[in-house]
Structure 1
């Protein structure tokens, strides 16, 4: 049996906190009681064992993460503490089976965003939220395509069209400013990562739901629902980027409800696409495939060539996760063929413009790379991934607006070099990614860098370049923060 190693990360955070072991134990017990985990009973000796390398059971890792985050005023993730991250998954019931009605959608988004802002000052919504997966997730999402009962308008639209005086005082310039602000938030996220402005987006979302409590002409109401969907989706994306997976899923589901009220199927398909991306990240390929097929079916008459290409590319990613080689290759080829139909004058919405030639190459390269991970023919698929990933890196190098994506593909190129037994080239790419990770707020990127460095160390420990990379990752990846 391997000898247990001291937890140096937890020891470092503990030493800087100024707490004694007894004080930390008391705080853990107090927080556990507050969250209903009455079985937790920690003492000084238990804290000592954690520092010595013992892995505490759930929900203690989450409680420790919350306590240290509050102590330092920034998110200190479970991984930052040297503990194992466990995303709770529910495949029965679940918190995503919500009523598909306008008034209830507004109420649910208002309540959830308020909870995020008021109860979760350090970026956590507590220890009880679980990710929903399997049929408990897919079946409720299928109702996105169902018409409203009897074709009736939603309660809010009915009120707006029922002859009652309009109560909303939102002017056209104010509405345009809200829409422009959402575009600006999206640009900030692409440049700086999800952690920098997540709470600002949640705050804006909450304000917009307040506006939807009033009545407007139908076209204004639909624009407000579309704006709500975009902000909720962005809150979900940013939550995903900082590793808050259950919260990200909740925002995605609420965004899909708002998109339905707006009658915006293309944007609904984008939300499902990112829900699929999250499932791929969590290695739930079958769920990812169900979601992307639902997005394709729902947008079959409305998707532009650019969106169709995105959907095919994500379908390929899902197939690669479950090792479906032929279907993955077919979807990747369809993504390329469909993207070739895109034209500069196409009327694509702002939220779709991110899917560029660089993104297309990135998605397909990661599909081939994942096939290399999931197949016995690893050298073949690594060789297929290499030129496509290199093309993505070259294109993103010229794109100052998508710095985080550039870094992700540098890490992807590093992983391909490792698959091809080229550790020195892998380190060159990974160190460039470290330079970027120091400047953006993306725990997703930080995690990818750490995993790639760890893979290099496992296979090439003792090689000077690999050891240097390991040291850089320890010292140069910044403490993650979600400061507003």
Structure 2
């Protein structure tokens, strides 16, 4: 059963998915070794020792051969270590109640074992499977909520407190993300444990899942900002399950758009567009739809579709103009004309329309409030890139330095990465005095790339 994978050794889970016995795996390893001219004689007993933990880890040759059999890059084997590189958790659960419970349990396990490394640039779920997650979320209507579980009853006071803390933390993560990480994880852990162990009625269950979805969505962004892409994806898929159980379609659409944003970031624009089209079919809030269209514009720009990008940007602005007070879900409460401007600038920059990009980015910098420093650092970095493209090295260096200071103050790895890229591009013009000063400043302030 799928739910048993939490209790299985990752190698056992992978082997069962392949339909291989221990003897079959040993035989495949033997054949792989022979192809490399290696003299190895693996047998069932050796595989059993790996899976039972009697041997802490296979030696290097066996791990190399296992990775080859499983189609895993050797660099991932080296950086992740045993058994974390095994592709044991890359198939998403369905949206039935047992699937949602299992997804949330996996997030809880991850919270309880922070020593488990993240795959960084690698995703826990591949592009094809991720698209399937979105399609399944849209197709499956929320059914009967889970019955009450054994444990204590959730009273109204506790539930209201959880909802208030969730809203507060969502707002705080926009300005003090690193300081909020432990608080968000604590809230998420508490809400999942309540779902697992408490007694509640159907209305309370929906609200508990809504709290869990919001907390998991916030946690996903915290991981994404630090470049921990697999952890971000894992939390967002868990959030999508919880939002589905709570029957909150607008929240689910927002989470699906977060997954699309990650896909665009990792240069998977086709996957992103598919996810966003799915999300748009299930959201009703104009402000929420504006977010989806902005992210669709970003994906289309990455794919080089100038006409589609322009149409998506115009649609986003029109939807935002139609937003009425009280109709915007909490996850989209940050959406503003400044966000339309910065995303427009980033899209036009990607498409080579640098003057148009610079105008939009200047508008964004002027409109952003002081609380949006992470976004400001990105706008300044993109504006520096547009100035560079127009050969204005003084303006490019000035914006890059301000972007660098702003990004470092936020301690957001994603922002620092974007700024670092802009600085590196500008630094190629090393003979210009402003560029020389920027290079020297960056060398003393930027953390080492890792």
Flag whether TM exceeds 0.5 (same fold): yes
Structure 1 residues not aligned, in runs of 5+? 1-32, 42-55, 67-87, 373-380
User: What's the counterpart of residue 435 of structure 2?
Assistant: 466
**Residues 1:206 and 2:201 are matched in the alignment:** no
Query: Structure 1 residue 352: deviation in Å?
Result: 1.4
**Cα distance 1:307–1:108, how it changes in 2: closer, same or farther (>3 A)?**
closer
Partners in 2 of 1:386 and 1:223 — Cα distance? Answer: 44
The question of whether the paired residues in 2 share the 8 Å contact of 1:89 and 1:132 is answered with no
**Residues 1:105 and 2:88 are matched in the alignment:** no
The question of whether the paired residues in 2 share the 8 Å contact of 1:117 and 1:203 is answered with no
Query: Structure 1 residue 94: deviation in Å?
Result: 6.6
**Residues 1:38 and 2:60 are matched in the alignment:** yes
Query: Structure 1 residue 129: deviation in Å?
Result: 6.8
User: What's the counterpart of residue 262 of structure 1?
Assistant: 246
SS in 2 for 1:363: helix
Structure 2 residues not aligned, in runs of 5+? 1-54, 64-73
**Residues 1:178 and 2:162 are matched in the alignment:** yes
- After superposition, the C-alpha distances for 1:301-343 in whole angstroms (9 at most, x for unaligned) are xx22211211111111111010011111111111122222224
**Cα distance 1:348–1:117, how it changes in 2: closer, same or farther (>3 A)?**
same
The question of whether the paired residues in 1 share the 8 Å contact of 2:290 and 2:319 is answered with yes
Partners in 2 of 1:128 and 1:443 — Cα distance? Answer: 13
User: What's the counterpart of residue 431 of structure 1?
Assistant: 401
The question of whether the paired residues in 1 share the 8 Å contact of 2:119 and 2:230 is answered with no
Q: Which of 307, 331, 356 in structure 2 is aligned with 1:384?
A: 356
Partners in 2 of 1:467 and 1:196 — Cα distance? Answer: 34
Partners in 2 of 1:186 and 1:239 — Cα distance? Answer: 14
**Residues 1:413 and 2:383 are matched in the alignment:** yes
User: What's the counterpart of residue 71 of structure 2?
Assistant: none
The question of whether the paired residues in 2 share the 8 Å contact of 1:275 and 1:288 is answered with yes
**Cα distance 1:453–1:182, how it changes in 2: closer, same or farther (>3 A)?**
same
User: What's the counterpart of residue 280 of structure 1?
Assistant: 264
The question of whether the paired residues in 2 share the 8 Å contact of 1:196 and 1:441 is answered with no
Structure 1 moving runs of 4+ over 4 Å: 33-37, 126-129, 478-481
The question of whether the paired residues in 1 share the 8 Å contact of 2:118 and 2:230 is answered with no
- Equivalent residues in 2 for 1:450-461, closer than 5 Å: 450-458=420-428, 460-461=429-430
**Cα distance 1:439–1:415, how it changes in 2: closer, same or farther (>3 A)?**
same
The question of whether the paired residues in 2 share the 8 Å contact of 1:190 and 1:405 is answered with no
User: What's the counterpart of residue 371 of structure 1?
Assistant: 351
**Cα distance 1:383–1:99, how it changes in 2: closer, same or farther (>3 A)?**
same
SS in 2 for 1:444: helix
Partners in 1 of 2:58 and 2:186 — Cα distance? Answer: 28
**Residues 1:305 and 2:275 are matched in the alignment:** no
Partners in 2 of 1:393 and 1:232 — Cα distance? Answer: 30
Query: Structure 1 residue 294: deviation in Å?
Result: 0.9
- Equivalent residues in 2 for 1:98-247, closer than 5 Å: 98-120=93-115, 124-125=117-118, 130-147=123-140, 152-154=143-145, 156=146, 159-160=147-148, 168-193=152-177, 195-213=178-196, 214-247=198-231
The question of whether the paired residues in 1 share the 8 Å contact of 2:294 and 2:313 is answered with yes
Number of equivalenced pairs? 383
Partners in 2 of 1:473 and 1:113 — Cα distance? Answer: 39
Query: Structure 1 residue 349: deviation in Å?
Result: 2.5
**Cα distance 1:427–1:128, how it changes in 2: closer, same or farther (>3 A)?**
closer
The question of whether the paired residues in 2 share the 8 Å contact of 1:255 and 1:271 is answered with yes
- Equivalent residues in 2 for 1:4-19, closer than 5 Å: none
Partners in 2 of 1:349 and 1:167 — Cα distance? Answer: 32
User: What's the counterpart of residue 304 of structure 2?
Assistant: 323
Q: Which has the higher contact order (CA 8 A, sep 6+)?
A: 1
The question of whether the paired residues in 2 share the 8 Å contact of 1:417 and 1:425 is answered with yes
User: What's the counterpart of residue 342 of structure 1?
Assistant: 323
The question of whether the paired residues in 2 share the 8 Å contact of 1:115 and 1:125 is answered with no
Partners in 1 of 2:389 and 2:118 — Cα distance? Answer: 38
The question of whether the paired residues in 2 share the 8 Å contact of 1:222 and 1:261 is answered with yes
**Residues 1:352 and 2:332 are matched in the alignment:** yes
SS in 1 for 2:386: helix
Query: Structure 1 residue 277: deviation in Å?
Result: 0.8
**Cα distance 1:436–1:478, how it changes in 2: closer, same or farther (>3 A)?**
farther
**Cα distance 1:167–1:444, how it changes in 2: closer, same or farther (>3 A)?**
same
The question of whether the paired residues in 2 share the 8 Å contact of 1:393 and 1:406 is answered with yes
